[in-house]
Amino acid sequence: MDDILREFVTETSESIENVDRELVRLEQEPNNEQVLRHIFRLVHTIKGTCGFLGLSRLETLAHAAEDLMSRFREGAPVTSEAVTVILATIDRVKLILKGLEEAEREPEGSDEALVEALERLARGAAAGPPVIAVESPPAAAPEPPDPTARERPEPARAPPARRTDPVSRLPVTPGVQSVRVGLDALEGLMTMVSELVLTRNQLIDISRRSELTEFNAPLQRLSTVTAELQARVMKTRMQPISTAWQKLPRLARDLSAELGKDIELVMSGAETELDRQVLELIKDPLTHLIRNAADHGIETPLERMRVGKPGRGVIRVSAAHESGTISIEIADDGRGLDIPRIAALAVERELATAAEVETMSEAQIARFIFAPGFSTVREVSHVSGRGVGMDVVRTNIELIGGSVDVSWTPGAGSVFTLKIPLTLAILAALIIETGGQRFAIPQVVVVELVQPRNSSEHRLATINGQAVLLLRDMTLPVLRLSRLLGLPGEDRPVDDSFIVIMRVGKRSFGVIVDAVFHTEEIVVKPMSALLKGLTFFSGNTILGDGRVILILDPNGVAAAAGDAPAAAGRESGEADAALGPLRQERTAFLVFRAGDGEPRAVPLASVTRLEEFDASRIETLGGRRVVQYRGDLLPLVGLGPDGAVPASGVQPVLVFSERGRIAGLAVDEVVDIIEDHLDVRPVGQSPGVVGTAVIHGRATEIVDVAHYLPLACPDWFEPNEQSRASGARRVLLLESTPFFRGLLGPVLKAAGYDVVAMADGQEALELLESDRRFDALVLDVEAPGVGGFEIAEALLGDRRAPLPIIGLATRPSRETLDRAQRLGLFEFVAKFDREGLLAALADGLQAREAAA
Amino acid sequence: MSVAPTSTREPGGERVAVTDYVTVFVDGQLFGLPIASVQDVFMRGQMTPVPGAPPEILGLINLRGRVLTALSLRRLLGLADPLAQGAMVVGVEHGGESFGLLVDRVGEVLSLPVSDRRANPGNLDPAWARFARGIYWLPEGLLVVLDIDAALGLGGAPAEPDGAI
């Protein structure tokens, strides 16, 4: 096709969508000057360009529409009839454009009736203030196009006022420069950037293992540049969600007319941006949800009046960013869901038995509307289709890793909520291992990680061979991932495993895996067409170390976990409440980025201060990086593989102090302070990492400060003068997890204690039987088998002088605390609270000496 | 699949249409893969198995940042499957995707005159006949011309007559 013509078709198609939307707005706000001017300008531009290209059909139509529009601008009332005719004209224009695109010329046909209607309306509208008579110009005499001929005088028939109007100047928007780029060019760019990200990750991985340090600086730069490039390319693919919304006002208007209802569409958050690939995929579901709301939700004006609502129904569409996802709500103020009817239909359609429905909650029954082949409208209306709609909506949304849910208030309306990923190309994933193979789980569905040994917080049991987990007061189905995938590892004891709690839509379930590693941003590669039939995998990716791993499809796994909506008979609201305790016992985390850009965190309580230093102030002293700080020297260490501190820019530093010593951890960027529950899970043998915790819905590495600070300040854990003077007390530390043992052991040693660190409670007990020379015990009450409580219990019967016992728990619950009190534990400390532990220990020893 | 001549040569001044084949050995049998459809030949490296995949799909391979789906030619041909499931991989492209065919050994590239290609013998195992596009009589034995598209089309879904996915 001719380039100019193609350009014209593309551009006009875009602006015509705008006219559609704007017109509906005009009908609602007939006095809105700005809207009117906007529409007029669009029509005017189309007309001008058509004339220039000799497209006579289009030009005649645009011209007649423009005339009618200009009547409105002169103050004629905007009637619903006029808008209908203009919309019909727009439809015709679209039809001709389609013909143009296919055949490169205007299709045959007559627009006489339409033009006549437009002219008649223009004449009618012209009644009132006298205006210049309108004559239809011959189609063969094209108008001078805008902007190329804007210096030329406008045709005489135009009212003189129009010449000074800003409209004629508007097509040349100064300052905005843009280039049209084909979508495939952007896609290609994205693919290349994805590969670059992978290669970067591989390089970082190699450099971590290598002894060579000379690569670190350029690698750091490469890493920053890559991240920036990735962000920018992603940005080019981002479009405001309004592009998917453009057709909705028109749709709502057509639906009003068709259904004999009065419907107003209110949209907010139109500027919310998301990946255009995702946008394309949500257009149809959105359209369907609007149809559904108009058809099933909103009542007729009469019905509405009868129940005391305004005759006009409102459908609200809103979009907002929500931690890595887009949340779209379609809310109507209609009648809400008719639960008894849905239940009856579910039974009728054999989706459930009457007995089953009897035991279901309303939320569970409501989910039947998403079941295949379900429709609540007895007579199939052509508006919302044949009951294939909602399940298709659900399927399409779930296909792109999103979810859809419904809530409602009887008589007051319903709300459909879509959760959509921002992009399909890159995804944060939790890397896990089962049956000797690693897999990636999309981060968005991971709620929490649990160790399956029975504690006061959770219990694991089996019902007829099916595992279930009692987590706080919620019963969750649990699957063994190795069994699901047919991998070896069936006889592996559950005690060494982890349960990943996943949430898909409102369904929560647990998956038993052998090990949990880190979170990684992965570039999703599609599965081969030969493997598309596998429901458990949604794609694959190449990890930093070069190995290919499969990405688990949460929907496929959820389906295997049983399709029961919500967990074990709880309504969604209650399920939220049951997950509530997570949020009640919160710990503040300082979240930051360093090294590869992944989020990391340290408990805020451990940080003394946040500072920013200009890099020029950082000096090198005896091979160490230091900065002058409050009359002292603050040694710095970076989080990179070599502990290097960047040499330029402003350097954010987390300052730590313990027992009169200070040291700083240089990070790339401090992200936020986030309060979340403290639930740290160990990762493999990773120096510098305490474990992974889900913070704000993202698995985040908890940095082991104890690993880094000695790098900055080598004598960090050396006992200082003060503590040495107090004489070495002998402390038994029982801690089952290696990372906390590694974390707390040095702290106690540094404070001057003679520490015996043990991992096994039984051995600890045996040692205590034979060795009486301990002054205090620090016991992990969460240790499997013989734990802190069991030891305390065993020691109760002991007639020897009671030893102060400090209990350790990651997150002490009330029951734990009660039990601690009953057993006479001296104090209870959270495992992260090092200062708290030292204080408790000191107090305990003091109390013991006072008693002695 | 194209088994169209890739070049011509002129022995004794006479123009003869030839096709170049990458030859591979599977279970002692010589196969020819039209060179136009072969992208790489490499040693088998780390492979990620795909749980639940059809038996002929051995897993996924990372080849310089691309993910290849690896298929066992042995299993496709219904041959015994000893521990060595092929030491070499032939990288091919099909339907816009990259695949790796695992074979025992890769031989040399042969230029064979198009006119020498014979039809499949009538008693060829139907499992083989689906992938075989004729044979060559070579001094060292029989060479079976392999139709890569047909072989890959059969990997997952049930075979369709034209071998397409």
Which pLDDT does position A719 carry in this prediction?
Answer: 52
Q: Is A529 on the interface with B (CB under 8 A)?
A: yes
Q: Is A256 on the interface with B (CB under 8 A)?
A: no
At residue A756, does pLDDT exceed 80? Answer: yes
Min Cα separation A480/chain B (Å): 14
Place of tokens 């990997």: B155
Number of domains in chain B: 1
Which pLDDT does position A473 carry in this prediction?
Answer: 72
Fold of A242-421: Heat Shock Protein 90 (3.30.565)
At residue A482, does pLDDT exceed 60? Answer: yes
CATH number for A585-712: choose from 3.30.540.10, 3.40.50.2000, 2.40.30.10, 2.40.50.180. Answer: 2.40.50.180
pLDDT tier for residue B136 given thresholds of 50, 70 and 90: very high
Min Cα separation B151/chain A (Å): 12
Place of tokens 């083989």: B128
Considering the domain boundaries, does residue B158 fall inside one?
no
Determine the Cα–Cα distance for residues A313 and A334; give it in Å rounded to an integer: 7
Angle at CA A366, nearest 5°, toward A506 and A288?
Answer: 90
Determine the Cα–Cα distance for residues A370 and A381; give it in Å rounded to an integer: 18
Average pLDDT, chain A: 76
Higher pLDDT residue, A170 or A847?
A: A847
Mutation test of the interface with chain A: which of B50, B66, B101, B148, choosing the one with the most A Cβ atoms within 10 A? B50
Selection from A348, A183, A166 nearest residue A279 by Cα: A183
Which pLDDT does position A9 carry in this prediction?
Answer: 78
Min Cα separation A546/chain B (Å): 7
Contact B156 A533 (CB under 8 A): yes
Considering the domain boundaries, does residue B2 fall inside one?
no
The chain B residue lying nearest A486, using CA atoms, is B51
Contacting residues of B for A528, CB less than 8 Å apart = 69, 97, 99
Considering the domain boundaries, does residue B1 fall inside one?
no
Which domain covers residue B29, as residue numbers?
Answer: 7-153
* Average of per-residue pLDDT across A377-390: 50
Min Cα separation B1/chain A (Å): 18
pLDDT tier for residue A152 given thresholds of 50, 70 and 90: very low
Which pLDDT does position A158 carry in this prediction?
Answer: 39
Which pLDDT does position A505 carry in this prediction?
Answer: 66
List, in sequence order, every beta strand (DSSP E) within A457-554.
458-463, 466-471, 474-480, 498-504, 507-513, 515-523, 537-542, 548-552
Q: Is A549 on the interface with B (CB under 8 A)?
A: yes
Higher pLDDT residue, B11 or A592?
A: A592
Contact B69 A528 (CB under 8 A): yes
Considering the domain boundaries, does residue B11 fall inside one?
yes
Q: Is B67 on the interface with A (CB under 8 A)?
A: yes
* Average of per-residue pLDDT across A94-104: 80
Which pLDDT does position B31 carry in this prediction?
Answer: 93
Chain-centroid distance, C-alpha A588: 21
Considering the domain boundaries, does residue B161 fall inside one?
no
Query: Where is A413: in which H helix or E strand?
Result: strand A413-421
Which pLDDT does position B143 carry in this prediction?
Answer: 93
pLDDT tier for residue A455 given thresholds of 50, 70 and 90: low
Determine the Cα–Cα distance for residues A94 and A13; give it in Å rounded to an integer: 7
Angle of the A705-712 helix axis to the A738-750 helix axis, nearest 10: 40
Per-range mean pLDDT, top range of A391-395, A552-556, A636-640: A552-556
Are A540 and A418 in contact by the 8 Å Cβ rule? The answer is: no
Which pLDDT does position A134 carry in this prediction?
Answer: 38
- Residues 6 or more apart whose CB falls under 8 angstroms from that of A195 comprise A523, B65
Mutation test of the interface with chain B: which of A523, A541, A547, A548, choosing the one with the most B Cβ atoms within 10 A? A548
At residue A169, does pLDDT exceed 60? Answer: no
Considering the domain boundaries, does residue B68 fall inside one?
yes
Look at strands A805-809 and B7-9 and give their pairing.
unpaired
Higher pLDDT residue, A609 or A259?
A: A259
Determine the Cα–Cα distance for residues A480 and A490; give it in Å rounded to an integer: 8
Determine the Cα–Cα distance for residues A662 and A619; give it in Å rounded to an integer: 16
Each residue of A332-383: pLDDT tens digit?
999 988 888 888 888 888 888 888 888 888 888 888 888 776 765 444 444 4
SS3 A326: strand
Task: Indicate the range of A303-312, A791-800, A802-811, B102-111 predicted with least confidence.
Answer: A791-800
Are A330 and A413 in contact by the 8 Å Cβ rule? The answer is: no
CA-based end-to-end distance of chain A = 99
Which pLDDT does position A431 carry in this prediction?
Answer: 92
Each residue of B80-127: pLDDT tens digit?
766 555 688 999 988 778 899 999 889 999 998 888 888 888 888 887
Contacting residues of A for B65, CB less than 8 Å apart = 195, 198-199, 542
Each residue of A636-694: pLDDT tens digit?
888 766 666 766 777 888 888 766 678 888 888 877 777 665 566 655 556 677 777 77
pLDDT tier for residue A569 given thresholds of 50, 70 and 90: very low
Q: Is B69 on the interface with A (CB under 8 A)?
A: yes
At residue A441, does pLDDT exceed 90? Answer: yes
**B residues 99..158 contacting A (CB < 8 A):** 99, 152, 155-157
SS3 A557: helix
Higher pLDDT residue, A585 or A85?
A: A85
Contacting residues of A for B164, CB less than 8 Å apart = none
* Average of per-residue pLDDT across A221-237: 84
Contact A528 B99 (CB under 8 A): yes
Fold of A186-238: Helix Hairpins (1.10.287)
Higher pLDDT residue, A594 or A425?
A: A594
At residue A850, does pLDDT exceed 60? Answer: yes
Considering the domain boundaries, does residue B23 fall inside one?
yes
Determine the Cα–Cα distance for residues B88 and A783; give it in Å rounded to an integer: 50
Architecture of domain A3-169: Up-down Bundle (1.20)
Contact A546 B54 (CB under 8 A): no
At residue A570, does pLDDT exceed 50? Answer: no
Each residue of A56-70: pLDDT tens digit?
788 888 888 888 877
At residue A578, does pLDDT exceed 70? Answer: no
Which pLDDT does position B148 carry in this prediction?
Answer: 86
Q: Is A548 on the interface with B (CB under 8 A)?
A: yes
Which pLDDT does position A145 carry in this prediction?
Answer: 42
| CATH 3.30.565.10-classified regions of chain A | 242-421
Are B132 and B30 in contact by the 8 Å Cβ rule? The answer is: no
Considering the domain boundaries, does residue B34 fall inside one?
yes
Q: What is the ipTM of this complex?
A: 0.81
Contact B65 A548 (CB under 8 A): no
Strand partners, A476: A469
For A660, which DSSP code?
A: T
Contact B52 A534 (CB under 8 A): yes
Selection from A301, A289, A288, A293 nearest residue A261 by Cα: A301
The chain A residue lying nearest B48, using CA atoms, is A548
Each residue of B148-162: pLDDT tens digit?
888 887 443 333 333
DSSP chain B: ------EEE-GGG--EEEEEEEEEEETTEEEEEEGGGEEEEEE---EE--TT--TTEEEEEEETTEEEEEEEHHHHTT----S---SEEEEEEETTEEEEEEESEEEEEEEEEGGG-BPPPTTS-HHHHTTEEEEEEETTEEEEEE-HHHHHHTSSSPPPTT---
Min Cα separation A682/chain B (Å): 25
> Residues A713, A718, A720, A721: is their CA dihedral positive or negative?
negative
Contacting residues of A for B47, CB less than 8 Å apart = 548
* Average of per-residue pLDDT across A504-532: 82
Task: Indicate the range of A464-478, A621-635, A792-806 predicted with least confidence.
Answer: A792-806
Determine the Cα–Cα distance for residues A720 and A725; give it in Å rounded to an integer: 9
Residue A78, number of CB atoms within 10 A of its CB: 22
Mutation test of the interface with chain A: which of B44, B47, B60, choosing the one with the most A Cβ atoms within 10 A? B60
Contact B62 A548 (CB under 8 A): yes
Q: Is A242 on the interface with B (CB under 8 A)?
A: no
Contact A542 B62 (CB under 8 A): yes
Higher pLDDT residue, A564 or A180?
A: A180
The chain A residue lying nearest B62, using CA atoms, is A548
Min Cα separation B72/chain A (Å): 14
Residue B10 has φ and ψ, to the nearest 5°, of -130, 75
* Average of per-residue pLDDT across A604-612: 76
Higher pLDDT residue, B58 or A384?
A: B58
Determine the Cα–Cα distance for residues A836 and A85; give it in Å rounded to an integer: 76
CATH number at residue B64: 2.40.50.180
Contact A198 B165 (CB under 8 A): no
Contacting residues of A for B50, CB less than 8 Å apart = 531, 534, 537, 550
At residue A562, does pLDDT exceed 50? Answer: yes
pLDDT tier for residue A29 given thresholds of 50, 70 and 90: confident
Min Cα separation B75/chain A (Å): 15
pLDDT tier for residue A546 given thresholds of 50, 70 and 90: confident
Contact B62 A485 (CB under 8 A): no
Percent of chain A having pLDDT more than 70? 79
Architecture of domain A426-573: Roll (2.30)
Per-range mean pLDDT, top range of A103-112, A557-566, A790-799, B100-109: B100-109
Each residue of A762-793: pLDDT tens digit?
888 888 887 778 888 899 888 777 888 888 88
At residue A282, does pLDDT exceed 80? Answer: yes
Which pLDDT does position A686 carry in this prediction?
Answer: 66
Task: Write out the CATH class of domain A721-851.
Answer: alpha beta
At residue A264, does pLDDT exceed 70? Answer: yes
Determine the Cα–Cα distance for residues B3 and B110; give it in Å rounded to an integer: 13
